[in-house]
Amino acid sequence: MPALELVLLGTGSPLPNPDRCGAGHVVIAGDLRVMVDCGWGVARRLFAAGIPPPAIDAVCYTHLHSDHITDTPDLLIMRWAGGAKKPLEVYGPVGTKAMIDGFLAARSADIGYRFAHHGEKLSREGIVCNVREIPATPDRTRAVEIAGLTIDAFEVDHFPVAPALGYRFEREGRSLVFSGDTKKCGGLVRGARDADLLVSEALNAGMWQIMVARIRQMGNENTAGVMEDVPSYHSTTLEVAEMARDAGVKHLVLSHLLPSPPADGPLVDNFANGMAEIYGGPITIGKDLQRFAIE
């Protein structure tokens, strides 16, 4: 059994894409299943990945942008109605408790109907969420240690989205890091130091400029203007390569792709152009449902 296993559930962005769901992945560490973010379509992706929702023990949120959180209500209900008998452990930045409380409040009628219909066949504990808000710190802060797995959080720079976190998972001497959404910053380099695998967001600047120009040509100036703001708080592919190189990362996996290319074809083939000249390790452009084992 690998020390850590990564399952990519959603490698896309807020932009709709038939091949890529919103942000969300699962880390398998022995008997533990930890989800990192739960964006649009991710809860349903669990079934395609062969991971039943009740098997999810915890969720770590990097930040509270919609494409990282919107499938949370479905996850909560699927997990509970599927037979979960223990609370979901939730970790995230300041604001996470209010978010979870809001989602549960929005589902309160639904939860009440299901208890009225099924009674004690449904666990009272299975719909509970234990939330711990993790401070955003320049260096790593321990979120939890359980069954030989440690999860640390560290601050990344997604301003004006603040706080925003990256996460580092360690087990049996192996490490897996998630960048969350961030522009180039020292926090990610420190958090990813010597990691076996880094899952990083990435924006292809040239492809993004072409997309914005096409939106403008279609006469949608307002949307083009909004899209022009996006690169200011994300990392370009070349900046990701620089951070992976500086951190000494052994394997780089790109996710949260901007703009999100199809699963296959020239756009995805050319997405990482120029990165290999900066970072010498293997670079994988992630696809939904792809798996990686860290032995």
**Cα–Cα distance between 286 and 268 in angstroms, integer?**
10
- Could you tell me what percentage of the chain is helix, strand and coil, using 3-state DSSP and rounding each to the nearest 5? 30, 25, 40
Compute the distance between CA of residue 129 and CA of residue 57 in angstroms, rounded to an integer.
11
Between CA 75 and CA 44 the distance in angstroms is 8
- For residues 92 and 107, give the distance between their C-alpha atoms in angstroms, rounded to a whole number: 21
SS3 per residue for 42-76: HHHHHHHCCCCHHHCCEEECCCCCHHHCCCHHHHH
Looking at the chain, list the stretches that DSSP marks H as alpha helix, in order from N- to C-terminal side.
42-48, 72-81, 96-106, 108-118, 186-191, 205-217, 221-229, 237-247, 266-269
Phi, psi of 82 (to 5 degrees): -80, -5
Length of the chain: 295
Look up 269 and say whether it is catalytic: no
Tell me which of 31, 37, 57, 67 is the catalytic residue: 67
Q: Which residues are catalytic?
A: 67
